[in-house]
Structure 1
Amino acid sequence: MALDQRDLRETLEGVFARQDMYEACQRRDVGMMVRILSKYGITQGQIAGLTGIAQGRLSEYKRGRRQAEDLATFEKVADGLSMPARLRQAMGLTAPGGMQGTANHTTGNGLQLPTDTFDLQLLAEAIGKRGDDVKRREMLGMAAKVSATAMAAQSEVWEQLDYALGESMVLSEATVREMEARTAGFHRLEEMLPGNVIFRGLSVHIKEVSTLLRGSAEHSKKGLRNRLITTAGESCVLAGWIASDMGSTATARNFYDTAERAAKEAGDPAIVACAYGYRSYIPSGKGNHGRARALLGNALDLVSDSISPATVAWLAARHAEESGALGDTATALRSWHQAEDAFHIADTADDRVWTRFLDENRLDSFRISTYSKIGKLEEAEEAARLMIARLPELDKKRTAIILGDLASAHLVRGSVTEAARLAREGLAASRDIESAIWLPRFDVLAQGLRRWQHQQAVRVFLEDLAKAKSGLAWSRRSPTPSIRHSRR
């Protein structure tokens, strides 16, 4: 028996409070939503009447014969059923009323940036199209423009996508350029926002690229299709890095594997090299420097100065770090010189989308890490002092890396109090940026310092580490495209 309007509204409010409905919204699983609603007496006819989605289509969703993918469908479900803000946010939608309800994230420098998936995609696209270095202070104005045009642009993009998939099924230069710009923008946004903030938007972007690839398999010009496959690979390596930052190694590996398959199909070995470079941080964080160096060696075999000098500079600097950690001073110095030589001929801002982080400061942080590991501690500390002094006050990520490396070097030398002090400062910086990827490094430091835990400096560091691990516990959960979500 169908529910009357009052009973219908009361039933909906009860269903909206359920955890299984919240999880279905997180997964953007419309079929599951329909099944849950049906379980509590809400018919497909009623859902169709409220949302404007055809009853036959709802039946296909319920039976799993079709998956809802476009944003317009999710908006119809949320608006038609008058879902509360909690469920709308779980689906990555703005609050009713458009941009006034758009969720925002406050960056370390106080900028209010949108975290809605579509707004983030537009912001990434705008940054990617700029083609030059976007300063943090410029982000506020760009974000405001994005929010002001988001609703209109959203309609235009989906109309373009519908045309590409439903009519001609042929990729256009404009569509591919749009996806390329958005991918480049997400790589830049990763330097400015925590990974958990942009993961959802990046996942939706990857899904859109995948949809375009499926629809264009047999009809598009090979050059355009290869560029889109390259874009998919570049997006997946970033998603892998962010998943690793969130504490999900398995998810990261899946993205890296996908990126490597895309790279092989597109004939772009630099993407595979990038994936190996990112993968190297996983064993390195666990103290397995031999495995990390092997991955980096494989990466360097795939790319040359003529292909991507900035990628070579990054990978060789990482190889120097890992060689230093293994006590192989001769190899560390050879790799470091290779990194410097490649960096001097590179234009990191105009190389690959993943190389734009590699500026003079970041190269110096690799120098500090390598020197501290091969026993040149005084040189490393002097370089660190100069670098931290010139870094922006809120660049916590690089500060955390540098201080962690110096703490490790002091521990090896036997300077326990100094190691504990630097480790605590580095941990504080890591905690400020909500990044879990560097916690294993501080775990290793804690293991080395634990025998001196009767000393106050060591005891305080160990207590701070326990609090940090507890506070970042969310990052050890497996991320999915429906969850929230650091760099080299």
Structure 2
Amino acid sequence: MLTVASTASLRVYVSEWENGRRTISSRYAKILRTLLGVTDAELTGAPQSPPALTPADGYDELISRIDEARNVSLTMVKTFMDQTELLRTIDRQMGAASLVDEMTAHLSRLEDALTFAVLPETRRPVALALAGAATLAAWQALDVGAVERAWRHYELGKRAAQEAEEPMYLAHATAEQAYVLCDAGRPETAVHLVREAQRLGGQRMSPRLRAWLYAAEAEICARAGLPDDCQRALELATRHLPAGEDARDPDMLSIFLNEGHLTRWRGSALALAGDAEAVSSLYAALDTTDPTFIRASAGLRCDLAQAHIARGEYGEAQKHLRQARLVASRTGSVRHRRRIEQLMQRM
């Protein structure tokens, strides 16, 4: 029950309210608004301002974001791709450990641009840029040991590739995701996934990407204990690789593969399979390796160590592992450091 002043006191209050000598308290304002059917402004006589145009449940902000996304031009998409290329170059030469914040911000901008884009002609170019960036971010996350983040980035890259209707990007992201399964101790499942990647790529893949996928299959088959399948995949990779020194795939800039790269990959797969031919292939690759692929050189040294361990040549293996450890420390590669420790335990 609401307590109010006596009748005599109320007469005084009303007089003082009307003459402006007393301010109406919130308690009495509530009563008077109900009795008189007026607003606070009408009750106090304050001048009324026109109602503010406030967004209804955030619609104004949403429309603003949609309008911004509509204005994302092909020039802006190229800028996104150029940023991905810069991050790829830094990663290749310096490692991924220092790029986490930049890569996260880059993906966030691309995801926002895609989220608020409406029509397909706007969405597809942005989705393509996101597919490339997410796949690169996934490989970087795998290198620094952030396994779940790597998996999620690969899923993002695959969804973006499907949205962009680009089977090459879908195949690439799917095949790289198979390496997460390998590192997690599921190489048999990884074999199925890398073969699924080849199916997803279909007939629209470039020859260089097809060769890359077969080389990836060869390595994963070796890790799964399937030496015959490994050899078959290596033969197919050699058959599909375009001739010449060019390594970059003009149809898919994330793919680097020429005869020199494939020689290293062949040696790596054969070393994993315990094949005696691995040493000669790996030393040939060491002589011709691209000096800008700093992080990859740690993997090559690990492959050489593995090949020497298989032959009982532990002194040579230790020499390569020392070199691999220096590179892994420089680039912050958790993935390579883990492999180095595993190889050390075999000696």
- TM (norm. structure 2) is 0.71
Question: RMSD over aligned Cα, in angstroms?
Answer: 3.0
AA at the equivalent of 1:194: G
Does the residue aligned with 1:353 lie in a helix, a strand or coil?
strand
Matched, 1:187 2:187: no
Q: Which residue of 2 aligns with 1:471?
A: none
Question: 1:448 aligns to what SS in structure 2?
Answer: coil
1:212 aligns with 2:110: no
**Pick from 403, 416, 432: which aligns with 2:330?**
432
Aligned residue identity for 1:203: T
Q: Is it true that 1:358 corresponds to 2:257 in the alignment?
A: yes
Unaligned 5+ runs, structure 2: 1-56
Partner of 2:209: 311
Cα pair 1:396 1:430 within 8 Å, conserved:
no
Q: State the partner residue of 1:348.
A: 248
Task: Say which of 283, 306, 309 aligns to 2:181.
Answer: 283
Report what 1:151 is aligned to.
Answer: none
Alignment-derived partner of residue 122 in structure 2: 224
Distance 1:394 1:183 in 2: 17
- Secondary structure at the residue paired with 2:205? coil
Residue pair 2:92, 2:294 contacting (<8 A) in 1 also: no
Structure 1 counterpart of 2:76, from 169, 172, 175: 175
- Listed as ranges, the matches of 1:285-434 within 5 Å are 285-304=183-202, 306-344=204-242, 348-355=248-255, 357-377=256-276, 379-391=277-289, 395-434=293-332
Cα deviation for residue 165 of structure 1 reads 5.4
2:84 and 2:267 map into 1 onto residues whose CA distance is 31
Q: 1:435 deviation in Å?
A: 1.4
Matched AA of 2:205: I
Identity of aligned residues (%): 23
Residues 212 and 347 (structure 1), Cα distance of their counterparts in 2 relative to 1, 3 Å cut: same
2:117 & 2:292 partners in 1: Cα distance?
44
Residue equivalent to 1:257: 155
Larger deviation, residues 184-193 vs 272-281: 184-193
Task: State the distance in 2 between where 1:247 and 1:370 align.
Answer: 22
Cα separation, 2, equivalents of 1:420 and 1:180: 41
Whether the 8 Å contact between 1:187 and 1:353 is mirrored in structure 2 is: no
CA distance in 2, matches of 1:177, 1:214: 18
1:360–1:185 CA distance, 2 compared to 1 (3 A): farther
Q: Secondary structure at the match of 1:354?
A: strand
CA offset at residue 278 of structure 1? Answer: 2.1
Query: 1:394 & 1:228 partners in 2: Cα distance?
Result: 29
Mark the CA change 1:167 to 1:406 in structure 2 (over 3 Å): closer, same or farther.
closer
CA distance 1:305–1:216, change in 2 (3 Å):
closer
From 202, 208, 219, the counterpart of 2:103: 202
Residues 314-365 of structure 1 show CA distances to partners (whole Å, capped at 9, x for unaligned) of 221121122223442321111011111222269734021311x334432221
1:235 aligns with 2:133: yes
The letter of the residue matching 1:285 is D
Equivalent residue runs for 1:59-78 within 5 Å? none
Structure 1 window deviating more from structure 2 (414-423 vs 246-255): it is: 414-423
Give 1:395 deviation, angstroms.
Answer: 4.8
CA distance in structure 2 between the partners assigned to 1:405 and 1:178 by the alignment:
37
Shift in Å, 1:295 = 2.3
Unpaired stretches in structure 1, ≥5 consecutive residues? 1-64, 67-161, 450-488
Give the Cα separation in 1 of the matches to 2:86 and 2:186.
33
Q: Relative to structure 1, is the Cα distance of residues 288 and 414 closer, same or farther in structure 2, using a 3 angstrom cutoff?
A: farther
Q: Aligned residue for 2:346? A: 448
Q: 1:331 to 1:388 in 2, by over 3 A?
A: same
Corresponding residue of 2:32: none
Counterpart residue identity of residue 200, structure 1? D
CA contact (8 A) 1:280 1:296 kept: yes
Q: Secondary structure of the equivalent of 1:247?
A: coil
Q: TM-score, normalised to structure 1's length?
A: 0.52
**Contact 1:399 1:426 (8 Å CA) reproduced:** yes
In 1, Cα distance between the equivalents of 2:117 and 2:200?
29
Distance 1:193 1:418 in 2: 26
Equivalent AA in structure 1 for residue 261 of structure 2: R
**Matched residue SS, 2:345:** helix
Query: How far 1:366 moved relative to its partner?
Result: 0.2
Between the aligned partners of 2:265 and 2:137, the Cα distance in structure 1 is 23
Larger radius of gyration: 2
Distance in 2 (alpha carbons) for counterparts of 1:249 and 1:342: 32
What residue identity is the alignment partner of 2:106?
H
- Mapped to 2, the partners of 1:408 and 1:188 lie a distance apart of 28
What per-residue deviation string (whole Å, max 9, x for no partner) do you get for residues 407-454 of structure 1? Answer: 2233334444443343333333322322112223223213323xxxxx
Task: Supply the AA of the counterpart residue of 1:350.
Answer: P
Mapping for residues 49-68 of structure 1, pairs under 5 Å: none
Amino acid at match of 1:281: Y
Residues 326, 165 of structure 1: CA spacing in aligned structure 2 closer, same or farther, 3 A cutoff?
closer
Alignment check: 8 A CA contact 2:222 2:273 kept: yes
State the 1:189 CA deviation: 3.6
Alignment of 1:111-126 (within 5 A): none
Cα distance, 1:164 vs structure 2: 8.0
Count of equivalent residues: 285
